[in-house]
Structures are given as structure tokens and as C-alpha cells.
A and B are shown apart, each in its own frame.
Chain A
Amino acid sequence: MSIKFILSVVLIAVAAFYMVKNVKLAIITFCVAALGAIVNYAGGLVSSFIPVTIFNAVVIALGLVGFAYYFNGKLKEESIEGQPSNLLTLVEFFTETVNGLVVSTMGEKNLMFAPYIFTLFIFLIISNIVGVIGVSSPTANYSVTLSLALITFVTSQYFGIKTAGIGGYLKGFFQPIPLLAPLNIIGEIANPVSLSFRLFGNILSGGLIMTLIATAFGTLTAAIAPALNIYFDLFSGILQAFIFTMLTMVFIAGSIND
């Protein structure tokens, strides 16, 4: 962690303050940037034991668990009388959106997957856009995306066996003619590979392009980077998180409904 980084954090906070004249937002921006700096510093300390990206993934997962506990406790104190609070409205909005998405993609009877889908989505969004505050994205490490894709793969295979029975599951590979069995097996294995490579390639290439720009423009980077950050980190990150969760739902629903 260099002086330059701390300076940029302060500059971001000041700029945000002057742009919106909003003390609260400026403080939040500052806190988020400071959090990024702290995580970066801690990642540097442990980098001799585990890769920084894995450390960031663990930190994000633990942070999300902490958030979940905190808001769960807060939600239980909510009263059902009177106007619902902001937090309740927000949580309700998220829950209903995700439930609607799961029902429209996987069908009414597969609503039990909604918690996992939402967890995956939130984790991927945070992991992908965390590059904005200078922390290296966990999803730029292939082991993270491969393990997430393997969860999808194992889940879809398990539910495929559960719904069709082991005989029906094996028979599915010999459809429509037995000659195509190797192709079917390869097609089944290609799903997690393409799923993980897509996320990994997108996030890694975004980070690489940002690094190339930073080395090419030197001190001018601060003027050019924000617009590119919006595209490569925010837009691409959220889009890829959405696509990963959508494809997860499609794969699992495909193995259940067949």
C-alpha cells in the first residue's frame, strides 16, 4: 500500500463530496475506499501463504455472511404495523425480483433454488466490481470460477440422476442414437468449462486492459481511467455475474425438467 493509493482515496472522497454536496455519501465513499485499502494491505501480508485473489474471495464471503447475520437480526425486530421501513422495502424488492426470475426461468416448483441463486449473484457482483476500489478481483483467478462452475455442474448432475433415476440418466447419453454418446458426454463436460472460462476471461481481460492503460498513460491515467472503469469493472462485471447466474439456472432447470 503506497502513499499514492491513500492520496487517491482521499481525492476520490473529496471529489465525491464536491460533486454531490452530500456529506453522508462522501463518508460512505471514503469508508468503502478505505476498506479496499485495508483489504489490499492485509492481502499483501498473507500473500506468501495464499494467493491474494483467494484471500479476497474469503474476505468477501465472510463479509457477506456478516451482512446477512446483521440484517437478519434487524429484520426480525421489524414490526408489521404501520409503514414498512426502508430496509424492509429493499429486502422485499430483492427477494421478489430473484423469486420472479427463478420462477420464470426454472418453473414454479424449483423455487427452492432461489436462496442459492441470490447468494451466487451477490457474491459474483461484489467479486467482479471490487476492482473499482483497487482490490484484485477474486474471479480473475481460475480456481474461484472453476469451483463455482463445478457447484453448478454437480448440482445439475445430481438432480438429473434424482429425477430420472440412474438408469434414465445413463440412457440420456445414448439419445437419439447410441453413436452420439461420446459427443453427449463431451457436451456435458463442456458446460462447466465454458461457464468458468467465460467469467474468468472477461474479468481477467478487463483487469489486463486497465493495467495496460495504466502503464501506457502514466500520470494521465487518473483522467482516462474512470470511464473505462465504468465499462470494464461495473458494466462488464454486473453483466457477467447476471449471465453466470442465468446459465446456472438454465443448466439446473434443464437437468430437472427433462
Chain B
Amino acid sequence: MLQGISNEAFVLGCSAIGAGLAMIAGMGPGIGQGFAAGKGAEAVGRQPEAEGDITRTMLLGQAVAETTGIYSLVVAIILLFVQPLLGAL
């Protein structure tokens, strides 16, 4: 089955699969950010006058929680567009 596939095509295809797998990490930040947003909504409901501070803290925390997702995104982008594995052939 692998007879007609060149080395480059095989590496590129595997890179694409790897990029897709890397993006599974997007789940984690999604859960974390949703949790933070829920807590933020709770806090605003309990103390509506502090909405500005709560929103700022929530956004900052969400940005830090997003880091792992961004790492996976960078890995996927490198696999797709820089194609470092082709150099190893």
C-alpha cells in the first residue's frame, strides 16, 4: 500500500496528522477558560459593583490558562508551515 508514496509525501502527511493531534490540546484551555468565566459570572452576581475588577482579573487568568493551547498551536503551525521534519530526510 505504501509502494507509490514518496518519502516527502509520507513525511508531509505525517506532519499534517501530527499537527491535527497537537490541536487536541485545545480542549484543556477551553475547559479552564469556561471554568474561570463561570466563576467570574458567579462573582459578578454576588458583587455586581466590582464588575470591572472581576472582569480584569478573569481575563488575565484566562490569558495565562490559554498558554498551553497556544503552545500546541505553535507546534501545529511549525509542523505545517516550517516543516522541520523534511530536513531529517
Residue ranges of A at the interface with B (Cβ–Cβ < 8 Å): 194, 197-198, 200-202, 204-205, 208, 239-240, 242-243, 246-247, 250
The minimal Cβ–Cβ distance linking B62 to chain A, given in whole angstroms, is 9
Contact A204 B77 (CB under 8 A): yes
Q: 12 A-B pairs, CB-CB below 8 angstroms? A: A194-B70, A197-B67, A197-B71, A197-B74, A198-B66, A198-B67, A202-B70, A239-B59, A242-B59, A243-B59, A246-B60, A250-B60
Instruction: Let me know if A201 and B70 touch, CB within 8 A.
Output: yes
How far, in angstroms, from A197 to B78 measured CA to CA in the complex?
Answer: 12
B70 contacts across to A, CB distance below 8 A: 194, 197-198, 201-202
- Chain A residues whose C-beta falls within 8 Å of the C-beta of B60 in the assembled complex: 243, 246-247, 250
Q: Is the CB of B63 within 8 A of A201?
A: no
CA gap between A243 and B66 in the complex, in Å = 11
Kindly list chain A residues whose C-beta atoms are within 8 Å of the C-beta of B63.
Answer: 198, 240, 243, 246-247
> Could you say which residues of chain B place their CB within 8 Å of the CB of A239?
59
Q: Distance (Å) between the CB of A51 and the closest chain B CB?
A: 15
User: Which applies to chain A's interface (DSSP): helix, strand, loop or mixed?
Assistant: helix
A248 to B82, alpha carbons, bound, how many Å?
Answer: 29
Number of interface residues of B (CB under 8 A): 12
Interface readout for B54-78 with A: 1 if CB under 8 Å, 0 if not?
Answer: 0010011001101100110110010
The interface of chain B, by Cβ under 8 A from chain A, is 56, 59-60, 63-64, 66-67, 70-71, 73-74, 77
B75 to chain A, nearest CB (A): 10
Q: Which chain B positions have C-beta within 8 A of A202? A: 70
- CB-CB under 8 A from B56, the residues of chain A are 246
Contact of B73 among A205, A242, A243, A246 (CB under 8 A): A205
The chain B residue with its CB closest to the CB of A240 is B63
A139 to chain B, nearest CB (A): 13
Task: Using CB atoms, name the residue of chain A closest to B69.
Answer: A201
> Which residues on A sit within 8 Å (CB–CB) of B74?
197, 200-201
Closest chain A residue to B53, Cβ basis = A104
Q: A202 vs B63: C-alpha distance in the bound complex, in angstroms?
A: 11
* Min C-beta distance of A210 to chain B, whole Å: 15
Give the CA-CA distance A201 to B63 in the complex, in Å: 12
User: Which residues of B have CB within 8 Å of A250?
Assistant: 60
Roughly how many angstroms separate A239 CA and B73 CA in the complex, as a whole number?
Answer: 18
Which A residues are in CB contact (< 8 Å) with B77? 201, 204-205, 208
* 5 nearest A-B residue pairs (beta carbon): A201-B70, A243-B63, A194-B67, A201-B73, A198-B70
In the complex, what distance in Å separates the CA atom of A247 from the CA atom of B63?
9
Q: A201-B74, A205-B77, A246-B56 are in contact. List 13 more A-B contacts (CB 8 A).
A: A194-B67, A198-B63, A198-B66, A198-B67, A200-B74, A201-B70, A201-B73, A239-B59, A242-B59, A243-B59, A243-B63, A246-B63, A247-B63
Q: How far is the CB of B23 from chain A (nearest CB, A)?
A: 10
**Complex interface: chain B residues within 8 A of A208 (CB):** 77
Expressed in whole angstroms, the Cα–Cα distance for A250 and B66 within the complex equals: 17
